[in-house]
Structure 1
Amino acid sequence: MLKSQARSTRRHWETLTDDQLLETELMTDDPESLPNLVYELPAGDEEPYVEYKYDLRKSEREMFSCVHGHHQHLAGFVMRKGASRFLVGWMCAKSIYGEDFEKYTADFDAAVSRQDALRRVLEIKAAINPFVEYLNAISNSDVFKHFNRVRGQLETQMPWVFDVLPAAASIDRHIIGASLPKRLCAPGLDVRQEYTRLMADFAATQIMLAGEPEKAAKLIGLIRTRMEGLAKRMEGILDTIREVETFFQPAVLAAICKLANEHDNPKRRKYEAGLLSITCKRDRDKTVITMPKGFELPSPRPLEAFRSALAGVNV
């Protein structure tokens, strides 16, 4: 019978780094193929430890022989002692090793638990990291500058359009002639500020993944729920930015000009739709607002990929 020794150093599974543990296989479906497998209990004073676990009771393969009495079994443990490995069936593990074996398996089970936590944390990080790059790229782009330019020009140069557009957007498209932008001229809108808050909330949720993997893994469900909420907010921001493109669509410009010519002061102002432009004529003066050069809507594909990755995260 193996005798337990006083614990003076860390046990095997505690000596591995997280990276080493991630690369380590803890289960085996072919224990007899492992190198340095012996069929007699190895001599020496080294303390053995559980290196692998196996359970092939649902398979049709031949049974293994336990090192203790060569009892036949299909579920048990690969024990490691020095360079030697030996098989111990689950019944002998319990009856022969007793409490000592509970100590060995407790270390092994802790390694399994930590490895699972590490993999789950890495899994959600793999979903998050590309999306963070996407968010940073949008933040560093000119898309908000272009959006605010169009919004600011409408507010200062065509105030009637700016003031009426949000209410007109609520009218049925069949009546008005097109689906009009709902938020482009919304009072008090600051889409850049919305985006800044989104990134701050995203970073705060990421922090939940820091620290011990076991603690972070317990929060995976909550993290995923929050990330899904942030993805929905991001979709809303993209829809708002897209309204720059919507505004300059021919049917939309035509509907806006028709509405303005009918309800603004037609004796003082005349509105005309052009190619990616809207013109307001006042006596001999005229104002032209055009689609910003270089405006490019962020691709929605990284957002779609992020959502798909979150859906596949194991909680």
Structure 2
Amino acid sequence: MQTQTAAIGGEQFEGYWDRLSDEELLRISFTTDDPENLEGLVLQVPSVKERPFVEFAYDFRGSRRSKIRCAHCKYPNHLAGFVIKTDSGQRFLCGHLCGAKIYGADFAHLHKDFSHARDRAGYLRRVQGLREALPGFMRYLTQLRSDPAFDLYDRTRQTLVTRMPRLRGALQVAIDRGGGTLSVDENVRDFAAEGRDEDRYDREMEEWNRTTVTERKKLRRQGQQPDKPRKPLYKSVSRPIGTVATKTLFSTANSPRQVVEDIAAQFANLADDPVKQMSAADKLAFFGYRGKQDAQGSQWRVLVGFGDTSNKGMANLLKQVGILLDRLEEQVERLAELPSFFQPRTLSAVASWATAAKLAGTYTAGLNSLVFENNHGQTVAAQLPPEFKVPSVSGIERLRLAMREGT
């Protein structure tokens, strides 16, 4: 860790936390649940010539615990704060709002050293958890990549896309524009329009009756006499008949298998060369794709190795692994769209909607199947493979847990 200094009482002191190794940081607890009974606790702020540092933090906000006495306030005014310790072993309590009042701007240095060390210990534990869980996760990835669900998904989707092309395009439009709502247009009686037409006729008749017989004859010859109310009048309305929740099943995005292969390659690179630094090519790819998105709307990331052990480097690694795990889970969720589409209620709605929309033929919902008869009498069917099963995400959850809790 880089050594920093803090100015206390006009003197420069090396930060306590910067003198500790990573191994020492991993053995330290940065919080206490009993600050008032620590050894060496004093009630007054010691001389500023001592070399204090923030040793622990405590936070009982939201609990029913009584407030804690602060060495600055000299009264129990706080539920959150810090334990500050001097090199001579004295400790005193400082409320979280009073540090700056005791040390002024210098408290920012004391707290920064503590926060940096606490954050570092957390990152070290999480990265260590990632290291230790990575071999098991790689075994899970191997099983996931060979899962038959990917082939079954691709084959069934291909049947829907190639043999029912009009359906595929119309469904994707419904998903993109209407959130998956399937609606058909129907003509319904427009009673409001009929009422307005009757009012129009009454007004015209009042004017007609005020005219003379000669004027009426002239208006008749010109075809300007009042028209009787028109009944019935109809209007076209859109009636929802169901929804489809398959966001990507009919899209042109990369297949789940392709995305999983890309993610697996990055994890394999990390597992094979865990201490590598980001190469020039990786940097070019990482910064070149920053801000860009893939077909599913998620940003690409190039997974760097464990080589950068700074707080920022470890945070970046953990963040990138988290993003890739999210993307990996999304692919399993995409596979789950297949059985969702073949649910009886969804199939029935799709068949009714597609037939009413005249998508090149007649559609019929069967048992876990959709049958299409085109205008030439040719019939094709797409069905959910009986052996299809959505893969488990347990390996993803285990790695997330290891990264969250560390060791």
TM-score by length of 2: 0.40
Which structure's CA Rg is the greater one?
2
Task: Choose between structure 1 and 2: higher helix proportion.
Answer: 1
